[in-house]
């Protein structure tokens, strides 16, 4: 029978994995909409697909307690916020929040995928000091 500590840690791995999947879903949906409405070049859509695949893979390994995946995901979570903040197109997109239904959806997906889920992952990881 597993101990309470191992059950608790398993639940935390599931939560962290869910943050990664949430980010992947938001980035995937946003990438699809950007491609569908011809708002980005195909090359950027390909990078988005690759990013989603990496996030899903990391999620799988994080759920199984891989310390390498936890560390890599934490670094990527921090980088996600910094890089998105520094990309002029992302800032310009957020300035258009509410100007149309499509842009509002894209902005919400951007905020969730590049900021909310990654920040939640990093905060939970750091607060609980998971190895």
Q: Residue 45: exposed, middle, or buried by beta-carbon count in 10 A (0-12, 13-18, 19+)?
A: middle
Whole-angstrom Cα distance, residue 106 to residue 93? 8
Give residue 1's pLDDT: 47
Length of the chain: 131
Quick one: which of 88, 86, 84 has its CA closest to 119? 84
Q: What is the pLDDT of residues 37-53, one digit of tens each?
A: 999 999 999 999 999 99
Give residue 34's pLDDT: 95
Whole-angstrom Cα distance, residue 108 to residue 90? 12
pTM of the model: 0.90
pLDDT bin (cut points 50, 70, 90) of residue 130 is: low
| Positions of E strands within 44-118 | none
């Amino acid at each position: 029978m597993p101990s309470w500590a191992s059950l608790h840690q398993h639940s935390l791995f599931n939560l962290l994995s869910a943050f990664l999947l949430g980010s992947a879903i938001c980035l995937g949906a946003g990438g699809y909409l950007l491609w569908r409405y011809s708002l980005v070049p195909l090359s950027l859509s390909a990078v988005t697909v690759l990013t989603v695949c990496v996030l899903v893979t990391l999620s799988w390994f994080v759920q199984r307690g891989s310390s390498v995946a936890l560390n890599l995901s934490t670094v990527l979570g921090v980088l996600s916020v910094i890089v998105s903040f520094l990309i002029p197109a992302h800032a310009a997109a957020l300035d258009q929040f509410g100007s149309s239904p499509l842009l509002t959806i894209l902005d919400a997906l951007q905020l969730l995928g590049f900021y909310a889920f990654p920040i939640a992952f990093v905060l939970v990881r750091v607060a609980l000091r998971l190895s």
